[in-house]
Chain A
């Protein structure tokens, strides 16, 4: 009985670690400098509740709605911090260092894309391991910085499937066949 309790306890601890809550609060200080700031924090229950409200009237067609619902069904949590600034230099790369460090430390997560161009940088982190699935995006532009964490999303292809929905561009993301 004692062993069972211990196992359950360890399981709970490991689950809480595997839930891998990335703390984005270090970015909240940017809100005072930003022209616009968006903060989203949804847990599984809130995602489920929001899903029940999604209706075809908001979207172009039922097919689009189905695609969005399919993606959202896997979501176990959503965290977003997005800031838009009036001019350049109102945030520095070091503001994101804490988030990068947290993502680098996470077991089963790896950076799959790091793209820099003209002072803009996009980083995509992912974990495809069952129970740890998730996608994290850090997008730093000259006057905009966004961090998005989608817990439960298993692949970039899932996101790519949303192309054409809600005015999003068509995206050819995810695995492709070698002979393509």
Chain B
């Protein structure tokens, strides 16, 4: 009984030579893995770069829009004030708006 087990263990633990193409197969697998990792990281990096570029582009677009809106608002306000100013000048020969008068109000 014990002899049978010993034999089995001896056979199981006996040193066996690797097949001749073992190293080549391992290297192919390693290279495939490296290629897969490289492709994955390249794809991730490209996606991140694309997201950053897209976000920057959108942020720049929004800021440009804000700039146009700001200029429009100031332009509109100035235009309306100028119109009021002209109207006031037409209706009265001299109208002065003094800072101290405004502060008193």
Is A124 positioned at the interface, with any CB of B under 8 Å from its CB? yes
Enumerate B50-105 residues with CB–CB distance to A below 8 Å.
63-64, 66-67, 69-85, 87-88, 90-91, 96-100, 102-103, 105
User: How far, in angstroms, from A124 to B83 measured CA to CA in the complex?
Assistant: 12
- With A128-B102, A175-B100 known as contacts, the answer to whether A40 contacts B81 (CB < 8 A) is no
Q: A50 to chain B: which residues have CB within 8 Å?
A: 63, 66-67, 69-70
- With A110-B105, A117-B91, A171-B78 known as contacts, the answer to whether A80 contacts B66 (CB < 8 A) is no
The answer to whether B102 touches A168, judged by C-beta atoms less than 8 angstroms apart, is no
Q: Please report the number of residue pairs spanning A and B whose Cβ atoms sit closer than 8 angstroms.
A: 128
Q: B64 to chain A: which residues have CB within 8 Å?
A: 53
| Binary B-proximity of A115-155 (CB < 8 A = 1, otherwise 0) | 10100101010101000000101010000001010100001
- With A52-B63, A122-B87 known as contacts, the answer to whether A71 contacts B74 (CB < 8 A) is yes
Nearest chain B CB to A30 CB, angstrom units: 16
Q: A47 to chain B: which residues have CB within 8 Å?
A: 66, 70
Is A156 positioned at the interface, with any CB of B under 8 Å from its CB? yes
Determine the main DSSP class of B at the interface with A.
helix
Nearest chain A CB to B64 CB, angstrom units: 6
The answer to whether A160 touches B81, judged by C-beta atoms less than 8 angstroms apart, is yes
Determine the interface band of chain B, counting residues with CB < 8 A from chain A. Answer: 20 to 34
Number of interface residues of A (CB under 8 A): 53
The answer to whether B63 touches A112, judged by C-beta atoms less than 8 angstroms apart, is no
Determine the main DSSP class of A at the interface with B.
mixed
Give the contacting residue for A137; candidates B66, B80, B87, B99; CB below 8 A: B80
Is A72 positioned at the interface, with any CB of B under 8 Å from its CB? yes
The answer to whether B70 touches A172, judged by C-beta atoms less than 8 angstroms apart, is no
Given A40-B72, A110-B105, 12 more A-B residue pairs with CB atoms under 8 Å apart are A42-B70, A47-B70, A54-B70, A72-B74, A113-B88, A126-B102, A135-B77, A139-B83, A160-B81, A163-B82, A175-B99, A176-B96
Binding site for A on B (CB under 8 A): 63-64, 66-67, 69-85, 87-88, 90-91, 96-100, 102-103, 105
Can you offer 8 A-B residue contacts whose CB atoms are under 8 A? A42-B66, A42-B69, A78-B70, A124-B84, A137-B80, A139-B84, A166-B71, A180-B96
